[in-house]
Structure 1
Amino acid sequence: MKTREKVARKIKNMQRYVKFLREHSASEDDLLKDYLLKSAIERNLQLAIESSLDIGEVIISSANLDKPEDYPSIILILGKNGVIPMDFAQEFQEAAKLRNILVHMYTDVDPTVIARILEKNLDDFDEYARYIAIYLESEHE
């Protein structure tokens, strides 16, 4: 499967998870009161982040860029190599750090942080997808 096809499939999945998050946006109080909602939001957020990281790994591999040491470095490598703007990479790498909390320190997930992300940061995934699409178009012209 070609890089563009792999990335397109992963972007589609990421957008599906983000759509769920938008449709089920919740306040900190909602998250504290509704365990099922909290669990579904945390899982879909994790999957959206995982998808974004998978996209980065596909591009890094296909372009023979530096091998990432950890998840945040995937995003930084994309920034350093002009795939996404570096200022955006520095902000978006926080998503990779959150992924580690969601997966490994799940008892420490702060509902305030999750509610803030739902309110203010879901558009970051759309912005990431746009940058990736622009990069792929420029690489195949």
Structure 2
Amino acid sequence: MKTKEKIARKIKNMQRYVDFLREQPADEKELVKNYLLKSAIERNLQLAIESALDIGEVMISSENLEKPEDYRSIIITLGKEGIIPGEFARRFSEAAKLRNILVHMYTEVDPAMISQILANNLDDFDEYARYIARYLDKV
């Protein structure tokens, strides 16, 4: 499978997870009382982040860039190489920290934090996808 096709498939998957998240209530109290909803939101958020990281890894590999040592470095590397803007990379790289919390500290995920992300940060995934698509259009 060609790189552009692989990335397009991963962007489509990422968007599906984000679309699901956009449909959910962002109310912290609802997340506290509804375990099933909170779990579904956490899982789709984790999958959206992992999709973004997978896209970054494919980009890094296809451009023969130095392999990052951790998840956060994937996004930072894309910024350093001009694939995405540096300031956006610094902000969006925080998603890697959230991924680690969702995966490794799942019993300690703060509903207030999840609520805040649903209300304020889902557009970052769209912005990321646009930067990746623009870069691929140029190469």
TM-score bin, normalised by smaller chain: over 0.9
Q: Which residue of 2 aligns with 1:108?
A: 108
Q: Which residue of 1 aligns with 2:15?
A: 15
Which letter maps to 1:19? D
Q: 1:18·1:48 contact (CA, 8 Å) conserved in 2?
A: yes
Q: Which residue of 1 aligns with 2:91?
A: 91
**Post-superposition shift, 1:66?**
1.2
| Post-superposition CA distance 1:46-97 (Å, at most 9, x none) | 0000000000000000001111100000000000000000000000000011
Q: 1:10·1:54 contact (CA, 8 Å) conserved in 2?
A: yes
**Post-superposition shift, 1:125?**
0.2
Q: In 2, distance between residues paired with 1:20 and 1:32?
A: 19
Which letter maps to 1:39? S
TM-score (norm. length: structure 2) = 0.99
TM-score (norm. length: structure 1) = 0.97
Q: In 2, distance between residues paired with 1:26 and 1:124?
A: 16
Which letter maps to 2:3? T
**Post-superposition shift, 1:26?**
2.4
Q: Which residue of 2 aligns with 1:54?
A: 54
**Post-superposition shift, 1:24?**
1.1
**Counterpart secondary structure, 2:93:** helix
Gaps of 5+ in 2: none
Q: Which residue of 2 aligns with 1:33?
A: 33
Gaps of 5+ in 1: none
**Counterpart secondary structure, 2:83:** coil
Question: What is the number of residues matched between the two proteins?
Answer: 139
Q: 1:25·1:119 contact (CA, 8 Å) conserved in 2?
A: no
* Identity among equivalent pairs (%): 75
Q: Which residue of 1 aligns with 2:69?
A: 69
**Counterpart secondary structure, 1:114:** helix
Q: In 1, distance between residues paired with 2:93 and 2:69?
A: 13
**Post-superposition shift, 1:25?**
2.9
Q: Which residue of 2 aligns with 1:79?
A: 79
Q: 1:15·1:48 contact (CA, 8 Å) conserved in 2?
A: yes
Q: 2:26·2:116 contact (CA, 8 Å) conserved in 1?
A: no
Which letter maps to 1:26? A
Which letter maps to 1:75? I
